[in-house]
Structure 1
Amino acid sequence: MLKNNLLFFILIFGYLLASTLVLINANEEPEQQIQNQQEVVDGFFSRSGHTNNWAVLVCTSRFWFNYRHMANTLSMYRTVKRLGIPDSNIILMLADDVACNPRNVFPATVFNNAGRYLDLYGDNVEVDYRGYEVTVENFIRVLTGRVSPDTPRSKRLLSDDRSNILVYMTGHGGNEFLKFQDAEEISSFDLADAFEQMWEKRRYNEILFMIDTCQANTMYSQIYSPNILATGSSELGENSYSHHMDTDIGVAVIDRFTYYNLEFLEKIDMQSKSTLKDLFDSYDPNLIHSTPGVRSDLFRRPLDKVLVTDFFGNVQNVELTEQKYNLSFTTAITSTSQQDVLNSSSSNQSILKNLINKDNSTSARTMAISRKSPISKSKNYHLSHVDPQKRHHISFFSQLSSSFLTAIVLIIISSRYLEYRQGPLNQLLQVFQMEKLGGAGTYKRYK
């Protein structure tokens, strides 16, 4: 009998210990859940979240000897079009028209290579602002959307808070300024304030600002608005240099910084997985002859997660909606007025009325079912709105409490059973009392 009682207590203790260990191991699952959630969060912040792309490409220099600045801008124009941004989403500003300049020995063409492999001007260039329209005022108005009411849509930046915008500028500049047509200047403060207005008016999701000019990196030093990534061709005190010239044209045809950007961009397509980190890592000061800079402290995403096509391409994202649109024939019939039904022939009237009655009865049944079983009366409604982490802790503590309660109940039942079989509980304890024998170190049971 004593062995059976001891075995019974050992089984109860083992059950309690095993239940506790199982629940403790189960409690380790939230760590895996937290890790999975962290991966989801990282994936969220690695995505752009944009639904459309825009490009603002600006050449601020005029005169024939600045041929390369027009070629820089047209090269970027051709690249973003090739990667998917349509003309409707590109604002092209050219301060001069070198294609029609009398000095051009190849009329109506612009080349960025001495080999003249590709005519950048082509047959489908849409210049939105040309000549004296390219001013500091018009540039800022385009960015901020504060244009006159009679401005056509083709000259407006119709972006929103889901737009990724590439802003590319090239020309002659200096310490925190860029010249427009050798007549006026835009400062780094003007540019920073324009970007801030865009942010306040929810006109962009992210901006990539790229500038190719002397001391270009100083132009983004005053920017303070979020989600802006900036890169420039040269540091303070450095000049930006042309890459090479065409002896027939007689002037330099492209700048070094733009040339090596195009060299990288020509290797990718719309489905490319190349990132902006890959692009920036490709910059070699020995080849560019200046020190390119990158400013990313205002940008929320890591550069190795930002695709080049997030700014230079137009990869569309699809948004799904749970709203359903019934485009069936019965919907069109039910929208028909009663007068049209009465004016139809008798045979058509019967068909139309049957369809209308059938559709109305179906809608009535649907409404009745929805009233009969509201979501708020679901038996799991109180858990469906609890955070998963809290829900797991609730489940863990409830199971642990249940296990302890079960063990206590079993102990009480067993103790009552022993009292019934052997008398008071102290008699059971006396069974285990031992009386030590003198000097022998042995024990005998108390009878």
Structure 2
Amino acid sequence: MKLPILLLLGFVSCAASGKNWAMLFTGAKGWFNYSTHSNLCHAYQVLHKAGIPDERIVVVMYNDIADNPMNPFPGKLFNNYNHTDVYKGTPMDYTGKEVTAELVLAALKGDKEKVKSLVGREGKVIDSGPEDNVFVAVSDHGGPGSLLMPDRLMSAKELNGALQYMHDNKKYANLVFYLESCESGSIFLDLPKNIGIYAITASNKDNPAYMNYCYDPDIKDVCIGGEFSTAWTQNSDKVNIRTFTLKQQSLAIEKAVNDSRPQLFGDLSLLKHPLKDFFGGKSASKQMFTDLTSTKQGFKDRSVPFHTMHLSLLKRKVEQRPADIDLRLRLARLQAMMADVDRFYRLAAKHVYPTGDVAKIDAITTSNSESIRNWDCYEAALQAVSSSCPGLVQDQKVQGYFLSKLSVLVNMCNRETGPVVTEAVEAASRLTGLCN
């Protein structure tokens, strides 16, 4: 009987020798995307305090918020109303123009040579092995089957392909993925249940993610947190990560959010793991952040859809100051831009169905995204949108709304070929001034 016991002990020892790795990334940039940066800086603080060393945490973000001229607290980022700085100490491994879809995928796969070719230097990657656990957290803009990067749109097929590569090349024992973006449930619809990956998303495939802490009296025109991100980071701040499980955290997230609709995907057997298996093994330390649901003025904090955050905040200002002509003009200009987004997609549909099939055009442009059946077409359409209409894809005020309407291209691709839809995107771009 001693031999099996020794073998079992040896197995446990081997399993316990694995390391923790983490990757945090966002493709959003600009002042109005403050929350994406603060969410991930808070995530870093959680992982750092839990014991993952910086050399095994890869942070990818544009890094244009902390020192933005609009920031009233230079060099600092806050993730809720108590104004605890989450930016200090956060490593910025890849910033600015280094932040691309290819860079994220290469760093995730541990491809050092590819990373070096992209940024011109040695760079940090997820250099994990078969006994290691990997944690990935993302806060970003998204649309059906896509995530925003500064250079283009990354498809769910690409991201899932990178995860499959990691599995096939024994790059992890288990992997956990926390994703906050609009329509984020669409990213993992095809995630296999048998490759040791568990994913939780902020929303289902048809709904937006929601922002919170949107009414800070000192930080204007932005939300400084995301419902999903602040739910899991604040929960991690206050629980004992050595015993609190992923299942318990998923329930805590669901309870904490107001309007977001978290979804679970992949290998749900991982839910039994304690947080320490992915966040690091240190015991819970003193709580750094307080969950504040009311501002100093005393009103209940309200969540705001990420893809229309700017619209929601402007409308509220106009309600409070209806005589302010400047505010009303700003709102009118924003609404005109959003109308141009709708016009862009309708022009694309009309290019494909020029005979005046109004019923079909209406169905394609107003219905929710169908399941993506023609990935080759859709990825070509995403590339066409990125290159032909960068103005709307990258405009901070409407990019979330623009991405939420990518359902039109999904629906078209399910009926047409890639060249047809790509040509329609390019034609609509030529007729939409804001594309440039």
Fold conserved between structures, TM > 0.5: yes
2:244 to 254, 265, 274: 274
Q: Give the C-alpha shift of residue 276 in structure 1.
A: 0.7
* Residue deviations 1:384-424 (CA, integer Å, cap 9, x gap): xxxxxxxxxxxxxxxxxxxxxxxxxxxxxxxxxxxxxxxxx
Runs of at least 5 residues in structure 1 that lack an aligned partner in the other structure: 1-32, 317-447
Per-residue CA deviations over 1:196-231 (Å, capped at 9, x if unaligned) read 111122211111011001111111112236000000
Residue equivalent to 1:329: none
Residue type at the aligned position of 2:232: N
Name 1:226's counterpart in structure 2.
Answer: 195
Which residue of structure 2 lines up, in the alignment, with residue 255 of structure 1?
226
- The alpha carbon displacement at 1:169 in A equals 1.0
Secondary structure of 2:264's counterpart equals strand
Is 2:141 the counterpart of 1:176? Answer: no
Structure 1 counterpart of 2:225, one-letter code: I
Task: Flag the 1:110–1:286 CA change in 2: closer, same or farther, 3 A.
Answer: closer
Structure 2 residue 99 is the aligned partner of structure 1 residue 131:
no
Alignment of 1:76-225 (within 5 A): 76-116=43-83, 118-122=84-88, 124-148=89-113, 150=116, 154-181=123-150, 183-224=151-192
Q: 1-side partners of 2:281 and 2:153: how far apart?
A: 32
CA distance in 2, matches of 1:254, 1:128: 22
SS of the residue 1:100 aligns to = coil
2:205 paired with 1:236: yes
> In 1, are the aligned partners of 2:140 and 2:148 still within 8 Å (CA)?
yes
Residue identity in the other structure for 1:121 = Y
- Provide runs of 4+ in structure 1 moved above 4 Å: 47-50, 149-154
Inter-CA distance 96–312: structure 2 relative to 1 (3 Å threshold): same
Shift of 1:75: 0.6
SS in 1 for 2:257: helix
Is the 1:50–1:205 contact (alpha carbons within 8 Å) kept by the matching residues of 2? no
Deviation for aligned residue 1:283? 2.7
- Structure 1 residue 134: Cα displacement: 1.1
> How big is the shift at 1:152?
5.6
Q: Could you tell me which amino acid in structure 1 is paired with residue 82 of structure 2?
A: G
Distance 1:174 1:136 in 2: 15
Instruction: Specify the alignment match of 1:421 in structure 2.
Output: none
Aligned pairs, number: 271
Q: Quick one: which amino acid aligns to residue 43 of structure 2?
A: M
Q: Is the 8 Å Cα contact of residues 285 and 291 (structure 1) preserved in structure 2?
A: no
Q: Is the 8 A contact 1:71 1:253 kept in 2?
A: yes
Distance across 2 between alignment mates of 1:315 and 1:256: 26
Do the aligned partners of residues 277 and 50 (structure 1) sit closer, same or farther apart at CA in structure 2, a change above 3 Å counting?
A: farther
Q: Distance in 2 between matches of 1:314 and 1:132?
A: 34
**What SS does the aligned partner of 1:167 have?**
strand
Per-residue Cα deviation, 1:263-322 (whole angstroms, up to 9, x for no partner): 21011345x2111111111133683302101114x35x4523x11111111469xxxxxx
* Counterparts of 1:228 and 1:97, CA distance in 2: 32
Distance of 2:277 and 2:189 partners within structure 1: 23
Q: CA deviation at 1:174?
A: 1.1
**Counterpart in the other structure of 1:4:** none
Partner of 2:322: none
Looking at structure 2, the residues matched to 65 and 315 of structure 1 have their Cα atoms a distance apart, in angstroms, of 35
Residues 150-159 or 83-92, more deviating: 150-159
Q: Which amino acid aligns with 2:189?
A: S
CA contact (8 A) 2:246 2:270 kept: no
Task: For residues 229-259 of structure 1, give each alpha carbon's deviation from its aligned partner in whole angstroms, at most 9, with x where no partner exists.
Answer: 0000001211111112222111210011111
Residues 254 and 50 (structure 1), Cα distance of their counterparts in 2 relative to 1, 3 Å cut: farther
C-alpha distance in 1, partners of 2:17/2:133?
A: 6
Cα deviation per residue 1:142-185 (whole Å; 9 max; x = unaligned)? 1222232757665222111111111111111011111112x411
Aligned partner of residue 159 in structure 1, secondary structure: coil
Partner Cα distance (1:197, 1:216) in 2: 21
Point out the structure with max Rg over C-alpha: 1
Deviation digits for residues 10-39 of structure 1 (CA, Å, limit 9, x no counterpart):
xxxxxxxxxxxxxxxxxxxxxxx9xxx9xx
Q: Percent of aligned positions with the same letter in both sequences?
A: 27
Aligned equivalents of 1:244, 1:173: Cα separation in 2: 20
Q: 1:160 & 1:288 partners in 2: Cα distance?
A: 38
Alpha-carbon distance between aligned partners in 2 of 1:54 and 1:102, rounded to the nearest angstrom: 34
1-side partners of 2:127 and 2:178: how far apart?
20
Counterpart in the other structure of 1:293: 263
Q: How does 1:359-370 map to 2 (within 5 A)?
A: none
TM-score (norm 1): 0.56
User: Is the CA contact 2:182–2:208 (under 8 Å) kept in the aligned structure 1?
Assistant: yes
SS of match in other structure, 1:178: strand
Q: Which runs of 5+ in 2 are unaligned?
A: 284-436
- The change in CA–CA distance for 1:293 and 1:50 in structure 2 (over 3 A counts) is farther
